[in-house]
Amino acid sequence: MKSPAKALVTLAKFAVSIGILVLLLRAQDLSSLQADLLAVKLDMLALAVLLLFVQTFVLCHRWILILRAMNVPLDWLPGWRILMVSTFFNQVLPAGGDAVRIWMLRRHGVQWSPTISSIVADRFLALLALGLIVLTGMPFLLPRVRDNSLLFAIVAVLAAACLGAIVLMTLDRWPPRLTSAVPAKIMQFVMLVRAPLRAAQGRATLMVSAIVVHLITVTTCYVLAIGLETPLSALDAFVLIPLVILSSAVPISIGGWGVREGAMVGALSLAGIAADKALAISVLLGLGGLIVGLFGGLVWLIAPERASFTPDQARAIAERTDVAPV
């Protein structure tokens, strides 16, 4: 993607984030929101930040398992350092985290194909695990949803995720006439992405870690609700928060800001949670992510790869990522 086009995409994401936040804040009593944010129990807030920090270790474990399935050896400590630095750049640069993660992994001698594929596989696995959680909560969700359009959207996303998983896992078994129409690079890319899901060793651990990542976010929101004295039950959190995670995963905003808040207000309303309380939970969740990201900035300051980092290299990697699937 050329620089002007990337700039327009970034501006559009900023516009989405700011626009949704403005609409939400205009509909709320700002003094009530401010009071909620200041009144949160500090021990619950600290526990929420701690959970988000622990989540980085699970994320790192998941990514390393994916790399190992692709026959890429990476020690745990460098992997965690790379992940933390990418978290920091995700906070300070729109979509900058992936470019930096790719660049740092390349500094460890990993080739382009498994480098990019590991990140795509990581995201796909996260989406697949999220779909499983949402599917598990569907029996409890259906009685709460009275809007048919919302129910259709949820089912459509789940169906698309299931279809994508089926295509990914069975593409090599399709008739030759169909697979021959698929470019060779895309087939090679698909084989790399699905390698972690087909690996006989560590596959169960990989799926468990992918699910645990989302459950930590669910637990964090539940803890923040306790800190705000909001009547959100553990079951409601398990059923509704994954919908928020799914919505904020759509790459149309900056760091999920705006989309996450709108989804949180809409989802928690199904449990009878007031909009100002739901908005406060979402804002605190975002601030917790910022704190973890700032810690990633400290990791970046002492990272050995930083000595040879230049913005031109990061831009070159980002452009290479845009134009090449492998």
Supply the DSSP string of 85-127, one letter for each residue: HHHHHHHHSTTHHHHHHHHHHHHTT--HHHHHHHHHHHHHHHH
Q: Is 162 exposed, middle or buried (0-12, 13-18, 19+ CB in 10 A)?
A: middle
High-pLDDT (> 90) share of the chain, %: 21
Of 116, 109, 60, 120, give the one whose Cα is nearest residue 84. Answer: 60
CB 99 within 8 A of CB 314: yes
* Cα–Cα distance measured from residue 274 to residue 289, given in angstroms and rounded to the nearest whole number: 23
User: Mean per-residue pLDDT for 140-146?
Assistant: 81
∠ CA 22-27-29, nearest 5°, is 105
Lowest mean pLDDT among 20-24, 67-71, 136-140, 192-196: 192-196
Question: Does the pLDDT of residue 221 top 90, yes or no?
Answer: yes
pLDDT value for 2: 52
User: Mean per-residue pLDDT for 126-155?
Assistant: 82
CB 92 within 8 A of CB 254: no
| Residues in CB range of 135: below 8 A, 6 or more apart | 158
Torsion of CA 14, 17, 21, 23, to 10 degrees: 90
End-to-end CA distance of the chain: 16
With bands split at pLDDT 50, 70 and 90, how would you rate the model's confidence at 7? low
In the numeric block, which tokens belong to residue 165? 């998983």
- 288-318 pLDDT, tens digit each: 999 999 998 888 888 776 665 555 555 555 4
pLDDT value for 183: 74
| Residues in CB range of 313: below 8 A, 6 or more apart | 103
SS3 content of the chain, % helix, strand, coil (to 5): 80, 0, 20
- 15-69 pLDDT, tens digit each: 777 887 777 777 777 777 778 788 889 999 999 999 999 999 999 999 888 888 8
Mean pLDDT, the chain, as a whole number?
A: 80
With bands split at pLDDT 50, 70 and 90, how would you rate the model's confidence at 128? confident
Distance, C-alpha 86 to centroid of its chain: 12
The reply to whether the predicted model has a pTM over 0.95 is: no
Distance, C-alpha 203 to centroid of its chain: 20
* Cα–Cα distance measured from residue 326 to residue 50, given in angstroms and rounded to the nearest whole number: 36
